[in-house]
Structures are given as structure tokens and as C-alpha cells.
Amino acid sequence: MCELAGHREILYLHQNVLKKNNQSAEKNRTLFRNLLAINLMSAPGAGKTTLIQQLIKHTHFRSAVVVGDLATDHDAQQIRQTEIPAVQVTTGNLCHLDAENVARAVGELELATLELVIIENVGNLVCPAMYHLGEDLRIVLMSVTEGENKSLKYPTLFKSADAVVISKTDLAAAVDFDREKALAYLSQVVPQTPVFEISARSAKGIDAFHAYLAQALEAKRLLRSLSI
């Protein structure tokens, strides 16, 4: 009985945390009203930072990056080498970014000058699923080196995504990645979600992903102009 009461209390606390996060995410939507904000999520090391670097090199969006990690500012330093602003959020023990720490981070950016804010979430396939950040697009990466079945094992995160990126495709043959199997699993879990196959090493597939983002930015601008 006592244990049940304890579980209820934890559930109640969790619901309150999510509610508060959703309120902050709504405020972020206002901050992001004139630009496209994307939230990149994946397991650690799936290639988020490298994809961001390639995207910046191959495209002409006026961009900035917010990057979340448990510790270090290595990723922000790497992204600044491409000469765009990058703000590192270190979360300590927290396995995801939340809307409030994103709000604080974007406070350091000149949002009025930007078209694209890329948020690189903490590498984790579970925690980021529940936390919305005020983003326009949620994008989940799975690298070929992780195997084909990530979407079956972590359906909550994949179901929350607007698009999926299969990353490190240049390594597919080396790790015997079964593309057809991976696509079949994805179509079981997220049949309507677009899938991009990208090698950030060779830049193969970057153009299609860029076109997807450009189209989303145009659609947002159009909606905004119609709502004024």
C-alpha cells in the first residue's frame, strides 16, 4: 500500500515536471516564430555533431547551434570551427535537454538574425522523447553501426520524430548493415515518417536533407505571413 502511494507520488511529480516543460516549450515557440528550430536526437555517437558540421558547410542557412551533453564543451568547440555560433549546455546527470535550458542557451544568440537553430540533444534514445523544446522538427538519427532494429527497440522516440536519418551510410558494407531490413522495421514503427540516408563523411544524402529543411522553413514563413 505504502509502495503504491510512493509510485503515485513519483508519477505525480513526473507529470508536473512534464507540464512545466511543456509550458516553457510554448514560450520557446514564440522565440522561434521567425526561424526553423530542429531537435536532433540519437544514441551517443550516432553522428549528430558531424551531421551539423556538414549541413553548415553544404548549405547557406543563417544558423546557430545549441548542443547538450552531460559534460564538456567539446561539441560546441567543434561546431564553432565552422564559424557559426554554438552554445554548449552541460546537463550534469540529466539525460536530455529541457525547454528551460534551451531558453537560457538561445538567450545568448541573436535570434533575429537567424533562419535555423539546430538543437543537438544529449545522446540518448529514451529520455529526450518526452521533452519538447519548442522545436518545429524532431529528427532522430540511427547510425548503420548500431544495427537495423533501433526503431523496434525505442519506438517512443521514433514515433515522436518528424524525420529519421540513417547516418554513417559509408560504413554500411563494413558492418553488414541490412538496409532493406532497417527500412522495413522503420515502416512498421513509423510508416509515414520520411527517412534520409546520409554519410556525413562523404556528404552523400546531405542535399535531400537540406531540401527537406528548406521546404519546412518556407512553409513556416508562409504560415506566419498568412497569420499576420
Ligand X SMILES: Nc1nc2c(ncn2[C@@H]2O[C@H](COP(=O)(O)OP(=O)(O)OP(=O)(O)O)[C@@H](O)[C@H]2O)c(=O)[nH]1
Binding-site ranges for Mg ion (CB under 5 A): 48-49, 75
Applying CB under 6 A, the span of 10-18, 110-118, 183-191, 199-207 interacting with ligand X comes to: 199-207
Closest separation between CB of residue 14 and ligand X, Å? 24
Question: Based on CB atoms, which residue is closest to ligand X, 75 or 148?
Answer: 75
At residue 187, φ and ψ (nearest 5 deg) are: -75, -20
Q: How far is CA 218 from each of CA 67, 147, 195, 198, 212, rounded to the nearest angstrom?
A: 25, 34, 20, 23, 10
Question: Based on CB atoms, which residue is closest to ligand X, 16 or 202?
Answer: 202
Q: In whole angstroms, what is the distance from residue 1 CA to residue 15 CA?
A: 21
Site for ligand X, residues 58 to 87, rule: CB under 6 A: 69, 75
138 Cβ neighbours under 8 A, 6+ residues apart: 38, 39, 41, 160, 161, 162
Give the number of residues in contact with ligand X, rule: CB under 6 A.
Answer: 18
Q: In whole angstroms, what is the distance from residue 209 CA to residue 197 CA?
A: 9
Question: Based on CB atoms, which residue is closest to ligand X, 25 or 65?
Answer: 65
Q: Which of the choices ligand X, Mg ion, none does residue 146 contact, using the CB cut-off of 5 to 8 A by kind?
A: none
Q: By the criterion CB under 6 A, which residues form the site for ligand X?
A: 42, 44-50, 69, 75, 123, 167-168, 170-171, 199-201
